[in-house]
């Protein structure tokens, strides 16, 4: 006969497996449901209030065939898994408002768009009832040869339907992330040597305590980071942070 402990461990394993296979998620807001669609690595599609937002579109147009054309496109950095000219040239972006860091401004002349808004770290704009803040993302220690120097790229905080959504971009567990307040939903990267370790990411999340956190951008030099370890560290370290695992790599 199976013991209660054995049954619990089987249930836990099956539950974790199911979460890993989850393809979308939905969050209630004051203005309808926010649908979260992981696409690949750092790429996602957010659908809310009849608006479609692409974040760092990458991987070719076929990955976006089930989504409406974008109303807003957010780009976090200059690297090809964030600003991918090949993918952008294949997509229908003529009616899209791009929000980008200044380092990409000169590269936008070849990309069809409705408007380009340049944000620096610490600045904000409003697009289609969504307030968008540019926030720092960078490597530690700061150095001239850093993969992600401070000020070049943007993380973003979106305020929509009463929810604050943090998209980390390529960053380590920087003080600006640790000091975030009242974040409802967070997307946090973890892939060495480019961003941070699972332990760093978990430690930072335990500091700013979002209501929901999604590990994303977790393919590194030596394969995939252990998102189940991240989940265990976060949910074992503080009450009230819900770690949700989506299918970012197919």
**Per-chain mean pLDDT for the chain:** 91
pLDDT at site 205: 97
Of the pLDDT bands very low, low, confident and very high (cuts 50, 70, 90), residue 21 is: low
Q: pLDDT tens digit string along 143-186? A: 777 889 999 999 999 999 999 999 999 999 999 999 999 999 99
Q: How far apart are CA 111 and CA 227, in angstroms?
A: 35
pLDDT at site 10: 38
Closest CA to 38 of 220, 219, 236, 235: 219
pLDDT at site 223: 92
pLDDT at site 8: 42
Q: How many CB atoms lie within 10 A of CB 146?
A: 14
Strands of the sheet with 124-127, listed across from one edge: 124-127, 130-135, 155-160, 163-167, 185-189, 212-216, 242-243
Q: Looking at the predicted structure, is the pLDDT value of residue 235 above 50?
A: yes
Of the pLDDT bands very low, low, confident and very high (cuts 50, 70, 90), residue 217 is: very high
Of the pLDDT bands very low, low, confident and very high (cuts 50, 70, 90), residue 244 is: very high
pLDDT at site 17: 44
- Token pair, residue 218, equals 């977790």
Give me the percent of the chain exceeding a pLDDT of 70.
92
145 secondary structure, DSSP code: T
Q: pLDDT tens digit string along 64-119? A: 999 999 999 999 999 989 999 999 999 999 999 999 999 999 999 889 999 999 99
Residues composing the chain: 250
Closest CA to 155 of 77, 53, 41, 47: 77
Of the pLDDT bands very low, low, confident and very high (cuts 50, 70, 90), residue 3 is: low
Q: What are the chain's domains?
A: 23-243 (3.60.15.10)
Q: Looking at the predicted structure, is the pLDDT value of residue 4 above 60?
A: no
pTM score over 0.85? yes
pLDDT at site 41: 95
Of the pLDDT bands very low, low, confident and very high (cuts 50, 70, 90), residue 12 is: very low
Hey, what's the torsion of the CAs at 156, 138, 199, 197, to 10 degrees?
110
β-strand partners of 163: 160
- Compute the C-alpha angle 191/193/197, nearest 5°: 45
Alpha helices in 171-247 (DSSP H): 175-178, 198-208, 227-237
Q: How far apart are CA 41 and CA 53, in angstroms?
A: 16
**3-state DSSP assignment of residue 108:** helix
- Token pair, residue 178, equals 């640790």
β-strand partners of 150: none
Q: Looking at 22-26, 42-46, 229-233, which range is the least confident one?
A: 22-26
Q: Looking at the predicted structure, is the pLDDT value of residue 137 above 60?
A: yes
pLDDT at site 48: 97
């Amino acid at each position: 006969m199976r013991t209660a402990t054995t049954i619990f461990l089987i249930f836990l394993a099956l539950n974790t497996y199911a979460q890993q296979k989850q393809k979308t998620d939905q969050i209630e807001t004051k203005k309808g449901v926010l649908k979260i669609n992981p696409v690949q690595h750092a790429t996602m599609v957010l659908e809310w209030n009849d608006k479609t937002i692409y974040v760092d579109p990458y991987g070719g147009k076929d990955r976006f065939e089930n989504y409406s054309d974008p109303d807003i496109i957010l780009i976090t950095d200059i690297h090809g898994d964030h600003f991918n000219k090949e993918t952008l040239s294949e997509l229908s972006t003529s009616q899209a408002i791009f929000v980008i860091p200044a380092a990409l401004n000169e590269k936008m002349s070849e990309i069809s768009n409705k408007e380009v808004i340049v944000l620096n770290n610490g600045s904000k704009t409003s697009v289609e009832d969504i307030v968008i803040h540019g926030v720092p993302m960078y490597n530690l220690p700061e150095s001239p040869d850093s993969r992600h120097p401070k000020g070049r790229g943007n993380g973003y905080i979106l305020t929509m339907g009463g929810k604050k959504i943090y998209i980390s971009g390529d960053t380590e567990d920087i003080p600006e992330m640790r000091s975030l307040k009242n974040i409802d939903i967070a997307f946090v990267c973890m892939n060495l040597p480019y961003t941070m370790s699972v332990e760093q990411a978990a430690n930072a999340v335990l500091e700013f305590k979002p209501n929901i956190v999604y590990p994303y951008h977790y393919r590194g030099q030596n394969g995939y980071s252990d998102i189940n370890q991240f989940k265990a560290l976060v949910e074992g370290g503080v009450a009230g942070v819900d770690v949700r695992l989506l299918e970012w790599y197919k």
